Chains A and B, each alone.
Chain A
Amino acid sequence: MIEPKVKIATCSLAGCFGCHMSLLDLDERLFDLAERVELDRSPLTDIKELGNCDLGLIEGGVCNAENVHVLMEFRTRCKILVAIGACALNGGVPAMRNQYDLKECLEESYLRGIGLVDPQIPNDPEIPLLLNQVHPLHEVVKIDYFLPGCPPSADAIWTFVNQLLSGQPLALPYTQIHYD
């Protein structure tokens, strides 16, 4: 009997896609992975609707209302949810705005920025509303695992995914999770 493939979904919330780039850095190991997993919703497949998955990998923190919806959906549909990278774990670079008021941020970008024509704060309902602050994932939903790094190296992602898929205890070598 052929074992059903493990279903994985990934997405980038308030992130820079660097973590997804790191995933692509798996290079030829991607072939190996493709043997064992099937990608559901992910920037790599362009599938828009999330199905029921075994594993969800999320890059980036939560900065707006849409992020909240997507993250909640991932939480409900994925058995295991993993925060990948500094932004997902701590808010990271986008969270640098947290020391300012949202008002200050928007005014700086849309009212006082250089070369603006017809300056105004955008209010189109198509654009997701920003949260007052950028939050790490675990402040919005339960997160099962955290993989640190900016981004975590392809090796770290590889070790983690392999151990998880094969049911081994998770233990990353020090070289893959130290940053000094």
Chain B
Amino acid sequence: MAKSDALTQTVCEIVQGHGGMPTRLLQILRDVQDRLTWLSPETLDRVAEGLHISPVKVRGVAEFYSFLYTAPRGSYDILFSDNITDRMLGNRELLHALCDRLGVRMGETRADGRVTVGVTSCTGMCDQGPAALVNGYALTRLDKLRLDRIVELVNGQIPLTQWPSEFFEVISNIRRADILLGRHFADGTALRAVLKRGSEAILEEMVKSGLRGQGGAGFKSAAKWISCRNAPGEEKYVVCNADEGEPGTFKDRVLMQDFADLVFEGMTLCGRVIGARQGFVYLRGEYRYLLESLEATLQRRREVGLLGEAILGDPTFDFDIDIHLGAGAYVCGEESALIESLEGKHGVPRIRPPFPTTHGYLNQPTVVNNVETFAAAAKIAVEGGAWFASRGTAESKGTKLLSLSGDCERPGIYEYPFGVTVRRVLEDCGARDAQGIQMAGPAGHMISARQFDRRICFEDLATGGSFMVFSHRRDILDGVRNFAHFFVHESCGFCTPCRVGAPLLRDLVTKVHTGHGTRYDLEEMRKLGRIMQVACHCGLGQTAPNPVLDSLEQFPEAWERRLRSTTFEPAFDLDAALEQARQLTGRSDPDAYLREEELMMGAMP
């Protein structure tokens, strides 16, 4: 059979496996790539033909997502997680060592096509790093010994299925449990409650509970459900946001790994309350390793009548759940970008309003909630709103899962009632030498020791759960610079203030961090940051300057220390910028150099 016929057949099989639905485009591309290791122009054309959509659209989607490759990759594709917490654990040395041992340059594919080594944004294994992905599967607790083995396995062409299973072991590290993680939940009890008491009664409990969105923004969940329930629409949808892209967060991973039933139950409950028959879990690509077990849980729930048609024998209660895998795009955690991605498009945030509750998936009313929000909702249906509201503060009821990482003795998941102080958390996790915390991830806030008595709740420090500790041994600016790179990498490019502003900010941070900045550059960063906060289209760009602005305020000495005493320094090394031309022309006369002293002399009045 000719090569292109084989290609057509492979693509056809996969497209048909997804029902030929263009909304499944991202899933189709992922599957095709799993088979062929990369997406060639020819492959993309075949996919477009199979789905009867334009090749340009398919190419646009393929090029948008970091984990989709439009250029050849090695048969082993290794991506190191490059969050600041991985760096604290020494990922850079390991990365360079691996590149050396394998004889491959970072970001490139080895000549024999065997292996590619690169970096990716935080993979959500901060409590068990340094971490990486190999062909999309999470590797944890990397060290020199493991690297030696990996080199052998790659060079020996050993299939992933035969790699030592402990390399892929992901532990949950639950260090403190409260009402959500601590109390047993019997499957089906929330669904029985809604069938017995009715949707109205459950909504009343939700209102009473005061539950707010646990993704970070804290919108009242009951209000969201009610608005969607009342919105006119042919179909309604429930979407669970398991994209968990915020660096330093991993609590949704633990919920999906250990409490999937509770999350699915919360989604099914929501389906019943708002009148939806279809739910989606948008699972970040980095959590690919969970897919089979989640599918198995869904299947088991169907078998015992908790999912599918006529749930618990009630012929009016149909609801099913599909899992969509993301492909490495932080912006897809933003709910409207997530919906675009679910629809098979590239994930660019929509203009809001209208909000998803009235115009969501396929323009139908849709509830998008965080994983933890659905888990809490299921519990509330069983235990009651008052029970939930008995914990927490006036405006922030219940508990919050924190993902702790960085410089502490016991990283992992900590569940606290809202209102807990930062200091208490630091004590519990064994962070004795903290100089600062990156709270709620790079998009959140950086706080210094002066603020450790602040409380974690919506009235004070709101968070989606990321909590990264920096000890006094650390350079705060290493973190700021790492985050600045993160936002450049993750900007979707749709709007100019973010597409252009994020790289400008990164360059300024780098300039100061490497000792070339002046007070003028700090002022430039402040100005740029303020513009981005108001002019960017979505939360990503609006929050991107936070680490810079916060650290300027909280850790001024970290910046000042590096400033030059001059009023202005060029953004690049002037003389070094002539080097190529010197080589090409072979010149070495005085005019072939831009020496600092001479420049100053020549410029003297």
Contact = CB atoms under 8 A, between A and B. Distances in A.
Smallest CB-CB A-B distances: 3 pairs: A123-B585, A139-B571, A72-B603
B580 A103 contact: yes
Interface in A32-77: 52, 65, 68-69, 72-73, 75-77
Contacts of B594: 65, 68
Contacts of A138: 571
A138 B594 CA distance: 17
A135 interface: yes
20 contacts: A65-B592, A68-B574, A68-B594, A73-B602, A76-B603, A102-B581, A106-B584, A121-B585, A122-B585, A123-B585, A125-B589, A125-B591, A128-B591, A130-B578, A131-B574, A131-B581, A132-B579, A135-B571, A139-B570, A142-B568
Contacts of B587: 123, 125, 129
B505 to A, nearest CB: 15
Interface in B525-574: 567-568, 570-572, 574
Contact of A141 (B570, B582, B602): B570
Given A72-B599, A72-B602, A139-B572, A133 B577 contact: yes
Contacts, number: 72
B571 A77 contact: no
A108 interface: no
Interface string A84-115: 00000000000000000111001000000000
Nearest to B587: A123
A105 B589 CA distance: 23
A140 interface: yes
A111 to B, nearest CB: 10
Contact of B567 (A52, A133, A135, A142): A142
Contact of A131 (B520, B571, B578): B578
Nearest to A138: B571
Contact of B592 (A76, A129, A140, A141): A129
Given A73-B602, A76-B605, A65 B580 contact: no
B354 interface: no
B103 to A, nearest CB: 25
B599 A76 contact: no
Given A125-B591, A132-B579, A135-B571, A68 B605 contact: no
Q: Is the interface of A mostly helix, strand, loop or mixed?
A: mixed
Contact of A75 (B581, B585, B603): B603
Nearest to B588: A125
B592 A101 contact: no
Contacts of A68: 574, 594, 599
Contacts of A128: 591
Contacts of A52: 605
Interface in A103-162: 103, 106, 121-123, 125, 128-133, 135, 138-142
A140 B568 CA distance: 9
A19 to B, nearest CB: 22
A146 B586 CA distance: 37
Interface of A: 52, 65, 68-69, 72-73, 75-77, 101-103, 106, 121-123, 125, 128-133, 135, 138-142
Interface in B501-522: 520
Given A125-B591, A132-B577, A132-B579, 6 more contacts: A72-B602, A75-B603, A101-B580, A132-B578, A133-B577, A142-B520
Contacts of A69: 599, 602-603
Nearest to B572: A139
B424 to A, nearest CB: 47
B1 interface: no
A77 B592 CA distance: 24
A125 B605 contact: no
B591 A129 contact: yes
B145 interface: no
A141 B577 CA distance: 15
B604 interface: yes
Contacts of B580: 101-103, 132
Contacts of A75: 603
Given A123-B586, A139-B571, A142-B520, A131 B577 contact: yes
A77 B585 CA distance: 32
Nearest to B571: A139
Contacts of A72: 599, 602-603
Interface in B5-53: none
B551 to A, nearest CB: 23
Interface string B470-496: 000000000000000000000000000
Contacts of B584: 102-103, 106, 121
A123 B581 CA distance: 9
B471 to A, nearest CB: 35
Contact of A76 (B570, B581, B604): B604
A84 to B, nearest CB: 19
Contacts of B589: 125
A102 B581 CA distance: 7
A75 B566 CA distance: 14
A43 to B, nearest CB: 21
A127 B591 CA distance: 9
A178 to B, nearest CB: 14
Contact of B603 (A73, A102, A133): A73
A95 to B, nearest CB: 13
A75 B605 CA distance: 10
Nearest to A107: B584
A170 to B, nearest CB: 15
Q: Give the interface centre of B586, B603, B604 by most chain A CB atoms within 10 Å.
A: B603
A138 B574 CA distance: 13
A61 B567 CA distance: 21
A132 B570 contact: no
